[in-house]
């Protein structure tokens, strides 16, 4: 039997599956978190803490057939969720190696989705806060360094 070839050229974008319903859910939940902004990134709506990405919509990414949300997760969470519900959670391309989790939006209710989104925001916002504090400590340390130590360098 001959293999069926796709009629879509590689230059054409994959067809979008969500007509706005799932995106509206994500927007409603994300916009309820103070400090959240939305920007278009890589052709899809992406949600940011004041500085960093915490949620990315994937509407049939490269034709995978899923309307999903990609979220950062704490260490070990990705594997646990995928093991618990592989029909709902998956390891997304690109960011999955960093522990992000893919969520099939049609398979979670608003309560579960909200919990996942709020946890992702907290995780990324804490990293940003930690990074800012670390930079501040380094800056303070360099300002108070002894002139004698500077000459030794």
Give the total residue count for the chain.
Answer: 153
Alpha carbon 147 to its chain centroid, in Å, reads 44
How is 43-76 classified by DSSP, letter by letter?
TEEEEE-SSSEEEEEEESGGG-S-EEEEE---TT
**Which DSSP string do the residues of 91-131 spell out, in sequence order?**
--TTTGGGT-EEEEGGGS-HHHHHHHHHHHHHHHHHHHHHH
Domains of the chain, by residue range, sit at 21-138
Condensed to tens digits (0 to 9), the pLDDT of residues 55-94 reads 999 998 988 889 999 999 999 999 999 999 999 999 999 9
Quick one: CATH architecture of 21-138? Alpha-Beta Complex (3.90)
Which structure tokens are listed for 122? Answer: 């907290």
List pLDDT tens digits, range 19-56: 789 999 999 999 999 999 999 998 999 999 998 999 99
């Amino acid at each position: 039997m001959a293999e069926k070839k796709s009629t879509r050229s590689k230059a054409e974008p994959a067809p979008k599956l969500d007509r706005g319903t799932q995106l509206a859910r994500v927007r409603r939940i994300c916009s309820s978190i103070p400090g959240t902004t939305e920007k278009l990134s890589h052709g899809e709506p992406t949600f940011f803490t004041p500085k960093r990405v915490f949620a990315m919509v994937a509407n049939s990414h490269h034709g995978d057939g899923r309307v999903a949300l990609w979220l950062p997760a704490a260490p070990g969470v990705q594997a646990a969720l995928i093991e618990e519900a592989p029909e709902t959670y998956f390891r997304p391309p690109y960011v999955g190696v960093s522990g992000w989790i893919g969520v099939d939006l049609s398979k979670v209710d608003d309560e579960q989705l909200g919990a996942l989104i709020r946890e992702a925001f907290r995780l990324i916002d804490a990293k940003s806060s930690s990074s800012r504090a670390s930079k501040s400590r380094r800056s303070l340390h360099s300002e108070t360094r002894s002139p004698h130590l500077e000459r030794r360098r």
